[in-house]
Each structure stands twice: as C-alpha cells, then as structure tokens.
Amino acid sequence: MTPLDMWTYGVVGATFALYIGIAIWARAGSTGEFYVAGGGVHPVANGMATGADWMSAASFISMAGLIAFNGYGASVFLMGWTGGYVLLALLLAPYLRKFGKFTVPEFIGDRYYSQSARIVAVICLILASITYVIGQMKGIGVAFSRFLEVPYDTGLYIGMGIVAIYAVLGGMKGITYTQIAQYVVMIFAYTVPAVFISLNLTGNPLPQLGLGSEYIQNGVATGMSLLDKLDQVVTDLGFKEYTTQTMGNSLNMFAYTLSLMIGTAGLPHVIIRFFTVPKVRDARYSAGWALVFIALLYTTAPAVGAMARLNLMDTIQIGPIGSVEGNLLYDERPDWFKKWEETGLLQFEDKNGDGRIQYYNDADPEFAAEAESYGWAGNEMVKVDRDIMVLANPEIAGLPAWVIALVVAGGLAAALSTAAGLLLAISSAISHDLLKGVMMPKISEKNELMAGRVSMLVAIMVAGYLGLNPPGFAAGTVAIAFGLAASSLFPALMMGIFATRMNKAGAVAGMIAGITVTLLYVFQHKGIFFVPGTSFLMPEMGMGQDWFFGISPNAFGAVGAVVNFTVAIIVAKLTAPPPEHIQHLVEDVRIPRGAGEAGGH
C-alpha cells in the first residue's frame, strides 16, 4: 500500500466514522425530528448545514471541471446558483417559514386549498429531486471509483450503501449535524489544494487573486498573466479561447442563468432547511450565514477550474507543438493518469501509433489540417470526464498525499450531503404529503416514520440505477433538475406568496403546463427518463439539436417557468377567485409583525 493509499483510507475512513457516529447519536425518534430536526437548530449551524446541502457534487466536483473546459461560458453556474440563493433567501424562505408547514407540497396544498395541487406538487418535487440525485450519484461514483480504484459502477453501489445508512437512520436531525461536519471537511478540501496550486503557478496564496496574477513557470516570472497563458495554450491546440468562449448563443446563456436562479429558489431540499430553526428571524439569519459559507467555495471555483486546465495541458504537451518530443510518451504517463484510466473516466487511444499522447481539438478544421502535417491522426484523449478535474487536480499538480486524500474526502462529503438532503425531501413528500396528507390521514406517527424510511430506500435504488447511465456530467444533470423545479414549483411558490388572487385552478394548470413542456424538450434531447437510445429529435421537422431559439435542454426551465406563469394567470382570470380567508392568509404571511414562533404543523 502506497503512502497516498494510507492517507486516503485514513482520512476518508475517519470522516465516514464521524458521519455514521453522528447519525446514530442524532437518530430521529419522531416525525418532527425526521423531517425538520425538531425545529431547534441554531441559525449559524443551520447556515453551515445549508451550505453543505447546497454545495453538492455539482458544486464541489463538477462546477470547476465545467469552468476548466468551458471557461467564461461556465460562469452561468456561478451566477445562476449564487443569484438563486439570494432570491430564495429574500423572496421565499422567510414567508414559507412563517407559514409554518413542513414541506413545499404541504404549503402548496394549504395555500391553494386543494389536495390536487398538493399531489401535483409532490409529483413535480419527486421528478426534480430524483433528477438531482442522479447528479449526486454520478459524483459519488466518480469519487469512490478513484478512492477505491474500482470501476465507476462499483463505486456507485458502495456510495449508495453509505447514503442509505446515515440518511435513513438519522432523518433531518442526523443529516443536519452530519452536514455541519461535511461542510468543514468540504471547505478545507477545496481551499487547501487551491492555495498550494495558486502558490505554485503565481506565487499568490489567495486563489481568487492568483487567477489574475502573473504566471510563474519553473520559479521564473513570465511577464504574462495566468489567464493570458491559458488562452495561449488552449488556442495553440485548436480549442476556443478560455476567457471568451460561451455556452451556446447569448439567449441560451441568459436562459441558463435564469433557469438555475429560479430553480434554486424552488428546490425543496434547500427550502426545507428553513423549517429547522426556531423562529422566522432565525430563517433570515441562517440564510445570511449560508451565503457566507457558500461564497468561500464559489469564489475559489474559477481559479480551481483555470489552474486545473492549465496543469492538464502542460502535463500532456511538454514541449513545442508539432515537435517529435513535444508530447508526453504514453509509457511515461504519471501515476494519477494510470489510476484514472482504471476508473474508465480517462481514456487514451494511440491513433497514429507513435506511443505519444496528442491532445487537441480535431473538430477545428484549421488546426486539424495543421495537426495532420505533424503526423497526428486525431485527438487521442478520447475521454476526459469533466467531473474528474477537481479530484485529479492536486495529483496533477504533484501536491502532498494528505492534500490529495483531503480532496477525496471532500468530494465524497459534497455528494453525500446533498444526496441525503434530497432523499429526505423525496421521502417527506411521499410519507407526509401523499400518505398522511391524502391517502391515509389517520396513519400513526410510527408508521409514517417507517413509510418515510422505506420511501427513502426506494429513492436511493431508483437514483442509483439511473446514475449508472446519467444523462451527462454531474453539473449538467443537476441543471436539468433545477430546470424542472424552475418550471413547476417556483412559480407556484412565488404566486402563492405575492399573488393574492391566484387560485387553485391556475396553480395546478400552471404547474402541469410548465413541467410538461420542460420534460418534453429534455426527453426529446436526452431520452425518455434518460434511458439511452430513446431521444426523439426530428431534424426533418425542424426539431434538431437545441431547436428552440438555440436554447439547450439544460437551460429550458426558464421557458417552462414562463409557460407556467402565463397559463396560471390566464386560468386564474377565467375561474373563481380564492376564498376570502385564503386571501387574508396570503396577506398576513407577508406582514413582518408577529413573526415569532411558526404556526402549527
């Protein structure tokens, strides 16, 4: 066993022992503890737990990988997710907390005085949350496959088992205190390597400032900024310029950002966090603290992405482009390369038989012609999974074994913390909203708790199965989940708080219309329920890739939300207004006076 293996097993083993120990200590004994941790979590602790819940595998593992390969274009994730959290903290969280219900479907059912609305909200919540968990399962599979040096599928099965142990056992009480520990692990795991790498490449210990600092090569200042150097490296190999490339057209960038923003504000597993504090005022405080904790990681991510891309390119392109010895010999590839090959997430194919690795953009006709003159026969890095970049970055940069081990532990903490929160949202929707709220109102608390745990186990198995063939990289899959929440739950929540005359017919019609058009567009591109081979694009009818004004399926939630609002408003105008007592209730929820203890559950 190598020193790296010893460090990794030690650090990951210790953190897992801590998580499971906390779950046993904080084992939920009532539905109140299972769903909202008894409503007694301190605002700062809740802010930290929210930060961990929020910073999923998509944020920790995948976002910097996206930034590494999409440059400026991937800023939609930073702007959308951060802006969405501000939207949630200011416009939704305090009012929902004052309303005093456990779950999002429960709020929608009571506000729209309709069991039908509650059932539709449960279906929308499950669709969005399951899609989100697929993204977490991808992250779990990536991290475990590298950590245990096993195939991706095996890593995924092991991760499912770990999630099942502590999420099913502890409920929200166990998850909250576990997530506090996971946040601490996560933020150290993300920032410590970033500091080391920033020092190596720029001499600046703050990665946020290092991104704009002068690039240092082999201890010598180059007179060129790090971003200028990166632009030069990627464009010399036929890739788009890092600092100017976009994800589709300007409309797609706008729709993508908007979809992530309003999807954030409609995500049930984050909203439910604001029910775990004692008072409405505490919900505001914990939202503020969560923003501080989230900002630590989100301001570091652009630097991590840029530096990871530069390190990867420099590892493979070791000399002048086109020279015989300018490319790394495959037999001399570093250990990290070999270990990621074992997971199947990094793949090399020697297309010209020279035993060296050529990594360039063979889709660029101009550079492809130039590459041909060098004797190159195509890009030989046939697979570089974007989700490996953060986990591989410390190894690529040659950092100490304990730093690499810390990053593995952080990646696992990120995926596990959000998966647990999402699974709780799914189980509470099924056991509390569907079973107790609609089908079996007289069910005992003990049986409701058991139903919650069983539904969580089923959700783990479904998400794990779908995670074997995810519809894309982790952050892309999560973006689809945000789109589903944006097109269905967010408009219903916003109109439920701010539109006094929005009625049940409008809310139900809007949710159904919004999620239907979004699902149809997503399934058309990604396959029905993401099953490979079931996509149904029809280019002959003008429905090719991104046919709707160039908007990608990952960004389509914004369009679905517009459809939702439009349909809801039209139907509400044509049908009877809500009862007087509901209109007064909506007005009361928005009044800050008397916002102390929450209403009854």
Strand ranges, E, within 340-403:
346-347, 383-384
pLDDT of residue 473: 60
Please name the residue ranges forming H helices in 203-225: 207-210
For residue 473, give the nearest of 171, 179, 58 by alpha carbon.
58
Candidate from 46-55, 151-160, 513-522, 549-558 with smallest mean pLDDT? 46-55
N-term to C-term CA, the chain:
54
Q: Which two tokens stand for residue 69?
A: 């390969």
How many CB atoms lie under 10 A from the CB of residue 205? 12
Answer whether 55's CB lies under 8 Å from 418's CB: yes
Burial grade of 103 (CB within 10 A; 0-12, 13-18, 19 or more): buried
DSSP states of 169-207:
HHHHHHHHHHHHHHHHHHHHHHHHHHHHHHHHHHS-S-H
For residue 543, give the nearest of 528, 513, 521 by alpha carbon.
521
Q: Say yes or no to pLDDT of 40 above 70.
A: no
pLDDT of residue 170: 56
Q: Which two tokens stand for residue 76?
A: 């939609």
Q: Which of 127-136, 140-149, 215-224, 466-475 has the highest mean pLDDT?
A: 215-224
Question: Bigger pLDDT: 511 or 593?
Answer: 511
379 falls in which pLDDT band (50, 70, 90)?
Answer: very high
Q: Say yes or no to pLDDT of 584 above 70.
A: yes
Answer whether 220's CB lies under 8 Å from 442's CB: no
Q: Which two tokens stand for residue 341?
A: 């090959």
Q: Say yes or no to pLDDT of 545 above 80.
A: yes
**How many whole angstroms separate alpha carbon 394 and alpha carbon 226?**
18
CA dihedral 25, 41, 273, 172 (to 10 degrees): 20
563 falls in which pLDDT band (50, 70, 90)?
Answer: very high
Q: Which two tokens stand for residue 226?
A: 């790090």
Q: Which amino acid is at 577?
A: P
pLDDT tens by residue, 196-216: 899 999 999 999 999 989 999
Q: At what angle do helices 115-148 and 474-498 cross, to 10 degrees?
A: 160
For residue 312, give the nearest of 54, 64, 98, 91 by alpha carbon.
64
Indicate the pTM of the whole model.
0.82
Q: What is the rounded average pLDDT of the residues 242-269?
A: 88
pLDDT of residue 360: 94
400 falls in which pLDDT band (50, 70, 90)?
Answer: confident
Q: Say yes or no to pLDDT of 22 above 90.
A: no
CA dihedral 165, 56, 282, 587 (to 10 degrees): -110
Q: What is the rounded average pLDDT of the residues 293-312?
A: 90
Answer whether 456's CB lies under 8 Å from 546's CB: no
Q: Say yes or no to pLDDT of 282 above 80.
A: no
**Cα dist from 33 to 52, 390, 418, 429, 599, whole Å:** 19, 35, 18, 15, 17
Q: Which two tokens stand for residue 299?
A: 């301001």
Q: Which two tokens stand for residue 592?
A: 């800050």
pLDDT of residue 27: 62
Q: Say yes or no to pLDDT of 280 above 80.
A: no
For residue 376, give the nearest of 231, 242, 237, 234 by alpha carbon.
237
Candidate from 181-190, 278-287, 381-390 with smallest mean pLDDT? 278-287
Answer whether 75's CB lies under 8 Å from 566's CB: no
Q: What is the rounded average pLDDT of the residues 231-236?
A: 93
**How many whole angstroms separate alpha carbon 541 and alpha carbon 173?**
52
Q: Say yes or no to pLDDT of 594 above 50.
A: no
**Cα dist from 500 to 7, 94, 493, 563, 568, whole Å:** 58, 17, 12, 20, 13
Instruction: Return the residue matching tokens 């004052």.
Output: 98
Q: Which of 143-152, 156-165, 442-451, 571-580 has the highest mean pLDDT?
A: 571-580
Q: Which amino acid is at 588?
A: D
Q: Say yes or no to pLDDT of 380 above 70.
A: yes
Instruction: Return the residue matching tokens 């591989």.
Output: 392
The mean of the pLDDT values for the chain is 84
595 falls in which pLDDT band (50, 70, 90)?
Answer: very low
pLDDT of residue 474: 62
Percentage of the chain modeled with pLDDT above 70: 92
pLDDT of residue 599: 45
Answer whether 373's CB lies under 8 Å from 124's CB: no
Q: What is the rounded average pLDDT of the residues 231-252?
A: 91
Instruction: Return the residue matching tokens 């007289």.
Output: 442
Q: Say which DSSP state 356 is in.
A: B
Q: Say yes or no to pLDDT of 112 above 70.
A: yes
Q: Say yes or no to pLDDT of 556 above 50.
A: yes
H or E stretch including 79?
A: helix 75-87
597 falls in which pLDDT band (50, 70, 90)?
Answer: very low
pLDDT of residue 596: 45
Handedness of CA 204, 209, 214, 216 (dihedral sign): positive
pLDDT of residue 598: 44
Pairing of the two strands 383-384 and 220-225: unpaired
Q: Which of 58-67, 85-94, 352-361 has the highest mean pLDDT?
A: 352-361
**How many whole angstroms separate alpha carbon 452 and alpha carbon 6?**
38
pLDDT of residue 331: 94
